[in-house]
Structure 1
């Protein structure tokens, strides 16, 4: 199947997260856990940002963590789905009209990570928890992160790798010709994309987190509750038939261990710095020297 069939339909992604805003916090166990683990990594990094962009902020869990850690920083929440930002704002604004009048509303922007409506060199740190996987290619979003960061600014992000929801993908395999699970990008390819975007000293690592469920419907309910619906271009456009769904359930049952069905998430972490632009080398006549590096063997 062509790679285009796995491209995400961004309008569907936005609509799914808008619908999931109310149910998101009740089901976002993985998102909170990964956010906490990312925050722990900040203990190893010396950085004092003045402006932080939470890129893909959802309902504000990570932004709250960042405000606690960097009390003097301004945290800007940025998300594709307006309802997610509204849910975050509702949690931060106190009850009562008078209190609301004297409470500063959180800084929020609704937009697309691949086309950030922010000035070049306007933030000291970009934090992005489990949002990059919704992009079809990482190059554009990393280029935008690089653009809005100041020199010596920090990018810290998490995303999902190829083994994510491998059980669900295997259960759907062969049932029909449609795509049912997003295709996720390998950690090494993400590291290469960071270098292409101009980032320095990228650090990448990965771990697997497994959630368990009573049945397949539980897996699907949680995915729906956090807005992680199938948004691939090659998805089926109608409801799956009863017999096809029975095959999916039977296929997934092969993964059952100790009475529970697993849902694996390959979580990829990365951080890198926005360096000062390196001066171009020139020939004696003033022409730029362009260096070509040999392609790394596969």
Structure 2
């Protein structure tokens, strides 16, 4: 059985990558954010758990029997554990940029001791060509600063007819939060999320075949805008764009932001919309690129 190369159980810390475009996630900030949120993530990642479960259910619609599985952006290991239980004969490799997230998962003990976790950037996977049957990624692609390169890496490691199954956030995500901040200033306060059609085009450019894309909307509600922002911070999902404001936001701006968000209040609750994009795509039968 072919398996990924250079799996390091000691989870080495990566070097900081090059600077990204100002509107895209800054790689070092993403890593730092999730490192800091590792201990609070599981308690607050309600939507993330639900979306992951729905993506796992889609595997029941396939006949794939993978022997090698990558769980990209594995976080604290929800999907890795489910994949390990579902495919008993497979080797599951959790991959995440955040060392602290993977260490948090390891502290669960049990089956995690058997999984060789990889601390790596999804645009530079330390994995052999044509060695993976299934790449699974739930709500991780939105943190990637170069989706084209990420998709090329996934195409490279997938075996012929290997499956890439994923979810990510679309541009309607946190639209209320974005609108409230836009009423305050022109700075970048909310992460930017790729459109479903742009994601599909990127998959095709990478040489992956016949992508099927779907969208589902979720709405979480909060008593206050501050509660929403605390929730986002506790799962490591706050603004990590390169041109985000640095330092603390002044009290006057915060007051204007809270007032602007109030326009969205319904039934005494403030909504936060999440657009979830589901994608299914296969590696072709033979490499032609």
Normalised TM-score (structure 2)? 0.90
Q: 1:5, 1:179 within 8 Å by CA — same for their partners in 2?
A: no
Distance in 2, Cα, partners of 1:248 & 1:278: 51
Aligned to 1:9: 26
Aligned to 1:164: 173
| Residue 196 of structure 1, CA deviation | 0.8
Aligned to 1:215: 224
| Residue 216 of structure 1, CA deviation | 0.6
Distance in 1, Cα, partners of 2:147 & 2:22: 17
Which of residues 126, 130, 137 is equivalent to 1:121?
A: 130
**Mapped pair 1:224 → 2:233:** yes
Deviates more, 1:249-258 or 1:135-144: 135-144
| Residue 169 of structure 1, CA deviation | 0.1
| Residue 4 of structure 1, CA deviation | 3.3
Secondary structure at 2:188's aligned position in 1?
A: coil
Distance in 2, Cα, partners of 1:39 & 1:252: 34
Aligned to 1:52: 69
Residues 189, 225 of structure 1: alpha-carbon distance in 2 compared, 3 angstrom cutoff: same
1:131-170 residue pairs with structure 2 within 5 A?
131-170=140-179
Give ranges in structure 1 of 5+ residues lacking alignment: 95-102, 281-298
Distance in 2, Cα, partners of 1:104 & 1:249: 45
Q: Deviations over 1:47-87 (max 9, x none)?
A: 00001000000000011111121111111000000000011
Aligned to 2:56: 39
Secondary structure at 1:114's aligned position in 2?
A: coil
**Mapped pair 1:65 → 2:82:** yes
Give ranges in structure 2 of 5+ residues lacking alignment: 1-19
Q: Deviations over 1:98-155 (max 9, x none)?
A: xxxxx94321000100110111111110000101111133211111111011111100
Q: 2:152, 2:206 within 8 Å by CA — same for their partners in 1?
A: yes
| Residue 278 of structure 1, CA deviation | 6.1
Aligned to 1:235: 244
Which of residues 255, 268, 272 is equivalent to 2:281?
A: 272
Secondary structure at 2:108's aligned position in 1?
A: helix
Q: 2:183, 2:260 within 8 Å by CA — same for their partners in 1?
A: no
Distance in 1, Cα, partners of 2:72 & 2:255: 39
Residues 7, 278 of structure 1: alpha-carbon distance in 2 compared, 3 angstrom cutoff: closer
Which of residues 83, 101, 109 is equivalent to 1:92?
A: 109
Distance in 1, Cα, partners of 2:223 & 2:209: 44
Residues 72, 173 of structure 1: alpha-carbon distance in 2 compared, 3 angstrom cutoff: same
Distance in 2, Cα, partners of 1:129 & 1:148: 18
Distance in 2, Cα, partners of 1:9 & 1:50: 34
